[in-house]
Every structure is written in C-alpha cells, then in structure tokens.
Amino acid sequence: MQLMINDRNYEVPAEPERPLLWVLRDELGLTGTKFGCGVGVCGSCTVLIDGVATRSCLTSVSALEGRRIRTIEGLAVEEPDGSLKLHPVQQAFLEEQVPQCSYCMSGQMLTAVALLEKNPRPDDQDILDEMSRVYCRCGTYNRIQRAVKRAVEIQAGQA
C-alpha cells in the first residue's frame, strides 16, 4: 500500500492493523516520531493527518491511504540554495530554548502546528488547552507556552 508522508509517496507493507508509529520508525526510518506510552496517553507519537494532531501509536495504517501525513521531518522546507528554513514553530522552540531531553518535542511541535493552522491567533487558554495534550516529563510547560506565543508572532511577521 502507499502512504503520502511529508509530500512524498512511500510504498509500505500491507499490514492493515499495524500502527503508523511503527511503520514510520521501523519501515521508513522516520524516527523523529517517538514511542512513549503506546496507549494514546502521552502524545510523544503525535503526527499530523490531514492537519489534525493524531496519536500514531493508535492509528492503524489501513485508514491512511490517500491521507496527508506530516511528521517532524517534514516541517522545515528546503530553500532553493539547498538550506533548510525552519517552520515558525521550530524557530520559536529554538529561540525560547524549550527542549530539555527533547523526547516529547516532535509531539509538542506538531501539536502546536495543528493549533496554529486551525487558530492563527490563540489566546493563553487556547494554547494551554491544546498543549496540555502532550506530556513533557522534563516539565518544560512554561517554555512551551512562551514558544507557541512566539511562533504566533513569527508567523504573523511572515504573513
């Protein structure tokens, strides 16, 4: 079967019940998506499916043919000179020095991307509500809150 991931088609084994998380990591080498709990609680495995933040540990590949999947590897865009331009959310997480161990960060950033695509001007409560869906065992929540607000500014500046 074929999966469209980060605007590229991948041929993957047709194992309909296999969770997307393990196809990404084991078949395709897209290891930026992390395994945390495996039961849909922690959010470390979050990817975007048609723009919606989704737990890849609970999503079987059977439902995904023809859908647009984005992982952390697909957030930055390649410039004509071959350099990478970070997504505003990545840029903001860097500027605010959010990561500690980094294990939760792809899930955090993709959750933030989904939020900003749905709501480009979230208020503090919107950010708190959405970002509390992903656990950070290092407790970087205050920096995450600041970074999402910074991403809003960066994005507005680019508009």
**Rounded to an integer, what distance in angstroms lies between the CA atom of residue 38 and that of residue 58?**
7
Contact 65/46 with Cβ under 8 angstroms? no
Q: Of the two residues 3 and 20, which places its CB atom closer to ligand FES in the complex? A: 20
Considering the complex, what minimum distance in angstroms separates the CB of residue 42 from ligand FES? 3
Instruction: Give yes or no for residue 40 binding ligand FES (CB under 6 A).
Output: yes
- Residue from 27, 38, 60, 73 that binds ligand FES (CB under 6 A)? 38
Q: Of the two residues 74 and 99, which places its CB atom closer to ligand FES in the complex? A: 99
- Residue from 55, 70, 87, 150 that binds ligand FES (CB under 6 A)? 55
Considering the complex, what minimum distance in angstroms separates the CB of residue 74 from ligand FES? 19
Considering the complex, what minimum distance in angstroms separates the CB of residue 122 from ligand FES? 20
Considering the complex, what minimum distance in angstroms separates the CB of residue 6 from ligand FES? 19
Residues of this chain, 59-118, that bind ligand FES according to CB under 6 A: 99-105
Interface with ligand FES by CB under 6 A: which residues? 35-38, 40-45, 55, 57, 99-105, 136-138, 140
